[in-house]
Structure 1
Amino acid sequence: MSSNDLYIEHFGLTERPFTLLPDPEFLFWSEPHKRAFMVLEFGVLSQAPITLISGEIGTGKTTLIQRLLGQLEEDITPGLISNAHRSRGEMLQWVLNALGVEANPRMPYVQLFQKLTDFLISEYAASRRVVLIFDEAQNLSREALEEVRMLTNINSNKDVLVQLILVGQPELRDMVLAPNMRQLAQRVASSFHLPSMNHDVVKDYIAHRLRVAGGTGEEFSDAASTLIFQATAGIPRLINQLCEFAMLYAWTDGSKVVSENIVQSVLQDGVFFGAETLHEDGKLENFQVLSLRPEERVPPEEKAG
């Protein structure tokens, strides 16, 4: 039996509440998440040429995509592209692969584009629309984004054959709003930026995931939730990481409640790397680094000297 199994049994849970895998069953509907999903649904239903969703790393964008894919109507043919490469020919190949269209990667670009066009027309003839979702779209070059925009040229004035959903980190918005990407920006019909969670939402988020996993939602003290919020800047993925370690520590201590001291022990032992990345990004400028080991921490008076 693994340590994960033991802490699940220790807390009377049915499964791990803080797994890092995007799981729509655990989706916590904060107000921003509700609005982001509404924008996604509206984009599909209104046949928007391009819908854009942005958010910090780990704010739940991929989970929202998985939820959307799980409830699309039968007249929608989806294609999910998560790790498209930047070069021109490869972009089309990624799109064709996502749609299940076989094509020789050695084909000239024009023939690959024709393959895609033929597929879109055949789907349209069968009364289906194609929705292409580009996750982690901030990794695309400006040239690749421009090529993605050109896919919307296949649409006629009245008929929509393909819709695009761009999902990525905040820099994606900056890329789209750049002066040389004006044509792309003008085709974005709806967009939403998913922020990190505030203190009260973090507390509710932790309780929600515990209840979904068979718990009471009260396995973390209020003080522990506050410290978790401070250490993670309200980013769900980091909250999951820190909560998982805290529950393991509570199990080893024989405690049925995760206290502030237990969370602080996790931070002091340096097993939670998330706080370090936030400090590097400048998101925790006013939060004391607790992830250093005791011998590495310097008292304030020594720093001042």
Structure 2
Amino acid sequence: MSLYLSHFGLQEYPFSLTPDTDFYYHSQPHQEALNVLLVALRSGEGFLKVTGEVGLGKTLLCRMLLEALEDEAVTAYIPNPHLSPASMRLALARELGLNPDDELSQEQLLQRIQDRLLLLAREERPVVLCLDEAQQLPEATLEAVRLLTNLETEKRKLIQVVLFGQPELDERLARPSVRQLRQRITFSYRLRQLDADAIAAYVRHRLRVAGYRGAPLFARPALKALYQGSFGTPRLVNVLAHKALMAAWGEGEDQVTRRHVRRAIDDTEGARQRTLARPYVLAACAVGVMATVALLAGWFGLQGVRP
């Protein structure tokens, strides 16, 4: 695999699936979401929400938010919130620097958390809790999170919560049983797929961060195929671009072409293939549609009926 890097003049793999903030691309949707979160948190809002389909970069956005807040807030990050209320409180306590005894009751644990939050409030250090994959939160844990935001001074909340989740999170929050939490969400943002121009810029950005300095590594038709095959989803772009680079390297080519991307799409479950049909296939489909329309028009004419 080292030949893969040296062949293209790369210092590291540009399309790794690990959420690495060094590779963060300031696309319009992600920058809008980050700006909304920062403005809302700095104004003291208690509950925020970001949703988006799988692979759109919610975890990376979450890490960028934590990085942006590093010098102005105490942050707590729980990446897998499929936890019971007790486990969630224990995880939060540890994120806040506490070392709770396993023999503590839930009431004692909650009191330790509240005392810590009050101390941080006196030091004018806001606390932000980020819950990733929040669509997995059990309903009882959602309620426990809501109750945490009841902790407040006369002027502000002791803890602010940001939920990151897939669209199923919105379905969960639409239930009547969690309407109290839903009403507390003051700001939300829905991430969307990147367009073709953004995908091309995204690919160039990651290659540049990985150390590439040569001529365009992906031909324009290859970039278009990446967009079509990925639905504009960054994670799928990473998978397809990595496989296309492997295909080009295996053939000793210095540039990734549309053919290499097609091979990657054929090898990737979930990638869109039908939009990349060859021109003669599309032409044949068009001729078939036109013939069908002509036959229907003729039949209507024989029946004396206006089509």
TM-score normalised to structure 1 length: 0.85
Q: Cα offset for 1:158? A: 1.5
Indicate whether 1:116 and 2:113 are aligned: yes
Q: Cα offset for 1:227? A: 1.7
Contact 1:210 1:217 in 2 (8 A): no
Q: Cα offset for 1:15? A: 1.7
1:104-123 per-residue CA deviation (whole Å, 9 max, x = no partner) reads 23422111111111110111
Matched residue of 1:149: which SS?
helix
Whole-Å separation in 1 of the counterparts to 2:54 and 2:276: 22
- Aligned length, in residue pairs: 278
Q: 1:42 aligns with which of 39, 44, 47?
A: 39
Q: List structure 1 segments (4+ residues) > 4 angstroms apart after TM superposition.
A: 284-290
Q: 2:147 aligns with which of 150, 153, 156?
A: 150
Indicate whether 1:129 and 2:126 are aligned: yes
- What is the one-letter code of the residue matched to 2:105? P
Whole-Å separation in 2 of the counterparts to 1:255 and 1:285: 23
- What is the one-letter code of the residue matched to 1:15? E
Q: Percent identity?
A: 37
Q: Cα offset for 1:53? A: 0.8
Pairing of 1:162-173 with structure 2 (within 5 A): 162-173=159-170
Q: Which runs of 5+ in 2 are unaligned?
A: 279-284, 286-307
Whole-Å separation in 1 of the counterparts to 2:254 and 2:218: 9
- What is the one-letter code of the residue matched to 2:173? V
Matched residue of 2:156: which SS?
coil
Residue of structure 1 in register with 2:296 after alignment: none
Residue of structure 2 in register with 1:241 after alignment: 239
Q: Cα offset for 1:86? A: 3.0
Worse-matched range after superposition: 225-234 or 163-172: 225-234
Contact 2:51 2:164 in 1 (8 A): yes
Whole-Å separation in 2 of the counterparts to 1:34 and 1:105: 41
Contact 1:86 1:144 in 2 (8 A): yes
Whole-Å separation in 2 of the counterparts to 1:239 and 1:28: 13
Indicate whether 1:85 and 2:82 are aligned: yes
Contact 1:211 1:217 in 2 (8 A): no
Q: Cα offset for 1:165? A: 0.7
Residue of structure 2 in register with 1:189 after alignment: 186
Residue of structure 1 in register with 2:298 after alignment: none
Pairing of 1:256-267 with structure 2 (within 5 A): 256-267=254-265
Whole-Å separation in 2 of the counterparts to 1:90 and 1:289: 50
Indicate whether 1:273 and 2:269 are aligned: yes
Structure-2 change in CA distance of 1:80 and 1:217 (3 Å): farther
Contact 1:208 1:217 in 2 (8 A): no
Residue of structure 2 in register with 1:296 after alignment: none
Matched residue of 2:90: which SS?
helix
Residue of structure 2 in register with 1:28 after alignment: 25
Q: Cα offset for 1:200? A: 2.2
Contact 1:15 1:213 in 2 (8 A): yes
Whole-Å separation in 1 of the counterparts to 2:273 and 2:151: 47
Whole-Å separation in 2 of the counterparts to 1:286 and 1:258: 21
Whole-Å separation in 2 of the counterparts to 1:7 and 1:147: 49
Whole-Å separation in 2 of the counterparts to 1:154 and 1:285: 51
- What is the one-letter code of the residue matched to 1:222? R
Residue of structure 2 in register with 1:95 after alignment: 92
Pairing of 1:10-29 with structure 2 (within 5 A): 10-29=7-26
1:247-285 per-residue CA deviation (whole Å, 9 max, x = no partner) reads 1111111111110111112233x3x2342xxxxxxxx59
Residue of structure 2 in register with 1:278 after alignment: none
Worse-matched range after superposition: 126-135 or 197-206: 197-206
TM-score normalised to structure 2 length: 0.84
- What is the one-letter code of the residue matched to 1:273? E
Indicate whether 1:159 and 2:174 are aligned: no
Whole-Å separation in 2 of the counterparts to 1:56 and 1:105: 37
Whole-Å separation in 2 of the counterparts to 1:273 and 1:99: 41
Whole-Å separation in 2 of the counterparts to 1:177 and 1:217: 50
Matched residue of 2:241: which SS?
helix
Q: Which runs of 5+ in 1 are unaligned?
A: 276-283, 291-299, 301-305
Q: Cα offset for 1:28? A: 1.1
Whole-Å separation in 2 of the counterparts to 1:178 and 1:198: 33
Q: 2:136 aligns with which of 139, 142, 145?
A: 139
Structure-2 change in CA distance of 1:181 and 1:130 (3 Å): same
